[in-house]
Amino acid sequence: MQEYRLTKIKLESPGKTISISRGSLTVYNDEASLWYAEIEQPSEVEVFHEWKKSNQEEEVTFFTDGHSARIGYAKITRITESSSGVSASFKGEGELRLVGAK
């Protein structure tokens, strides 16, 4: 299992880069086919609600603390809004690929 700290994400469909206050990407196997991500305080909240409502997988680029990026298809599994802010969870839909340095 590998865990990465996220700095931002990019949703390919709307072409939006979204800043976040905190996030993590957890890869559970060597093939990177089983993975999940969790983000907090995204700069764009409405786009996540639209994505969840569509129940579609989307291509997402996850930028990590180590100045690299990983790209894969994901579905939103949960959006939580509270007095402390917003968080969203993603489930990977297939292989997560390393795409290089930013």
What residue numbers bound the domain in which 93 lies? 2-101
Q: How many domains does the chain have?
A: 1
Find where tokens 């969870």 sit. 89
Q: Tell me the Cα Rg of the chain.
A: 12
Does the structure show a pLDDT above 80 at 102? Answer: no
pLDDT digits (tens, 9 = 90+) for 3-43: 999 999 999 887 889 999 999 999 999 889 999 999 999 99
> What pLDDT shows up at residue 14?
79
CATH number for the domain spanning 76: value is: 2.30.110
Does the structure show a pLDDT above 90 at 97? Answer: yes
pLDDT digits (tens, 9 = 90+) for 45-70: 999 999 999 999 999 999 998 778 99
